[in-house]
């Protein structure tokens, strides 16, 4: 059963929220989609770990969606536009890919958390949010605007990287980047800040993802 002010995790409630959401509850459908995405991510992670049942399910799902992508695009304008953007986007690069992948992960997590917290504003007692991240919610919508890129770099990406500075220094690729080494050959994250900001700007030019880390 759905808890007062919260989001039920029951399959029946999630299904009804997707197909016939309560018009008095604006958070019902987006909340259900968040839960659905979590289930799909769990199946994806299980497949990556070698789980046979999840592997079969995911293989069948991908084949099903691939064969029906044109029909979905014909019947759904949002699907057509978004799928077209993601399909044509080049999200990965070889050069600097190790650092870029980490930055991409930080941004993807921030997008998901921000989306969930925005949804949860309409359901204050929801289990979706334990503690509001005021910094994240106060940010401008992520975009390629230089001011926005600077804001997200300074308030989200760089602090996260600082927290894992020791790990970055030990990385065989990132820790040996010439730009990151001072005159004594010591790793200095601050020397990478221009590259970090540049990477955030490149990622900002891509379509935003809220539910999956598309890399």
What are 53-108's pLDDT values in tens digits? Answer: 999 999 999 999 999 999 999 999 999 988 887 877 654 444 447 899 899 889 98
CA distance 110 to 116: 10
Q: What is the DSSP letter of 51?
A: -
Residue 93 neighbours by CB distance under 10 Å: 11
CA-nearest of 210, 189, 198 to 86 is: 210
146-158 burial code (b ≥16 CB/10 A, e <16): eebbebbbeebbb
What are 125-134's pLDDT values in tens digits? Answer: 555 555 678 8
Please state the pTM of the whole predicted model. 0.66
């Amino acid at each position: 059963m759905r808890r007062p002010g919260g989001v039920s995790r029951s399959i029946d409630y999630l299904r009804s929220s997707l197909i016939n959401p309560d018009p008095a509850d604006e958070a019902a459908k987006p909340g259900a989609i968040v839960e659905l995405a979590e289930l799909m991510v769990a199946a994806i992670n299980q497949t990556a770990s070698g789980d046979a049942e999840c592997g079969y399910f995911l293989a069948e799902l991908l084949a099903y969606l691939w064969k029906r992508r044109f029909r979905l695009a014909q019947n759904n304008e949002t699907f057509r536009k978004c799928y077209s953007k993601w399909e044509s986007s080049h999200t990965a690069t070889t050069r600097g890919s190790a650092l870029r992948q980490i930055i991409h992960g930080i941004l993807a997590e921030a997008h998901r958390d921000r989306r969930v917290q925005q949804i949860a504003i309409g359901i204050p007692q929801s289990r979706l949010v334990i503690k509001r991240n005021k910094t994240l919610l106060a940010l401008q919508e992520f975009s390629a605007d230089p001011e926005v890129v600077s804001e997200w770099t300074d308030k989200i990406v760089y602090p996260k990287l600082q927290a894992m500075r020791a790990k970055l220094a030990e990385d065989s690729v990132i820790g040996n980047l010439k730009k990151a080494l001072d005159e004594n050959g010591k790793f200095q994250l601050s020397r990478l800040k221009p590259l970090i900001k540049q990477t955030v700007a490149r990622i900002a030019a891509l379509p935003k993802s809220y539910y999956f880390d598309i890399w």
